[in-house]
Amino acid sequence: MSAGSNSQVVHAPVGTVVAVQANYYRVRLDTFIPLEARGVDYLLCTRRSRLKKIGQQVMVGDRVAVEEPDWVDGRGAISDVKPRQTQMDRPPVANANQILLVFALAEPNLDPFQLSRFLVKAESTGLAVSLCLNKSDLITPEMRQKWCDRLHQWGYDPTTISLHEGSSLTALQHQLANTITIVSGPSGVGKSSLINQLIPAIDLRVNSVSGKLGRGRHTTRHVELFRLPDGGLLADSPGFNQPDLDCTPTELARYFPEVRQRLIEKSCQFSNCLHRTEPNCVVRGTWERYDHYLTFLDETIAHKETLNHSSQVEESTKLMNNKGEDQLQVEPKLATKKYRQPSRRTQKQTLRDLCHDIEESRTESD
């Protein structure tokens, strides 16, 4: 038996990136860690230069291996990023399972068009979408039921809660257990307050609704994962009031559950149907959000045309920085014709043909 056969193999600890700020990554370690690391749940890590050279980005939610951890100072270096199950760019989160859209039933009032826009954006990620309606104590039970029935026709089963009264959180906690959930929605609807109640150990900064604008003030500045007491992670994303719709016109329809249901029962005549004026369209009709769909469709068509125009401009122009000027100038690219140097074989054949023509010309003249 060799001398090193009794030595233990030390594996790099594995954890989940829960926060990214500047060039540092906060990694929450798995439960299985060395004895000397007891009491250390997190490591503040940098990224190995090798990962930077190969262009490996490290995102919140990534499963990573930490090399040569310093258990005393709580430091380490990320040496490997495990394959991702899912990836979102806005907010930048890896391995998320679902999106929890949080809206308020009042203060600010629930806007169906804005809600529809958020739902379409959430559906475009490919993740499961859940809907939570806060501030249910500010409206009557009849109004709550009316909204639930209305949204059920949209294809969603919302959970109504009141953070002020602390009601109906149990069902939501079961829904969030053992998953990575991205909490999103407009500013001021209670996302940070919801996380504060679900995870009492943290204290996210909360602002009130702007009286002048009738909407919430932005409080979250960066994406961070917070661990739930019963398991699972929550990603609190920065609030935004108008998410961009960057899908293609032909993709848009699939992000409406009402459309998906109609297409299951019967397909349209044309595979690229935009569900506007095409004949034998099974989608076009009187369902409530059809006008929302048409508005979003015009937006996606305009977005596509803008991208096509920008691509054409980039192909036909170039940026020039003239001497003595601080600003870049756009100038048209000059059309250039590429000439290929003829081969020696071609040159010799051309020369032989030329000599032959000269000899024939002399013969005719004699």
CATH class name, domain 249-314:
mainly alpha
Classify residue 169 as exposed, middle or buried by CB count within 10 Å of its CB (0-12, 13-18, 19+).
middle
Report the C-alpha gap between 165 and 169 in whole angstroms: 10
Report the C-alpha gap between 264 and 284 in whole angstroms: 15
Report the C-alpha gap between 312 and 160 in whole angstroms: 49
H or E stretch including 330?
strand 329-332
Three-state secondary-structure class, residue 319: strand
Average pLDDT score, the chain: 81
Q: What does the domain layout of the chain look like in residue ranges?
A: 14-83, 89-236, 249-314
H or E stretch including 184?
strand 180-184
Report the C-alpha gap between 247 and 362 in whole angstroms: 73
Q: Do domains 14-83 and 249-314 have the same CATH topology?
A: no
pLDDT given at position 337: 53
List of the chain residues with pLDDT < 50 = 1-9, 207-220
Which CATH superfamily is 89-236 part of?
Answer: P-loop containing nucleotide triphosphate hydrolases (3.40.50.300)
Residues 41 and 11 sit within 8 Å (Cβ to Cβ): no
Report the C-alpha gap between 363 and 366 in whole angstroms: 5
Strands 180-184 and 159-160: unpaired
Q: What is the third-level CATH fold of 14-83?
A: OB fold (Dihydrolipoamide Acetyltransferase, E2P) (2.40.50)
Token code pair at residue 22: 């500047």
pLDDT given at position 88: 87
Three-state secondary-structure class, residue 259: helix
pLDDT given at position 18: 93
Q: How many CB atoms lie within 10 A of CB 299?
A: 17
Residues 317 and 332 sit within 8 Å (Cβ to Cβ): yes
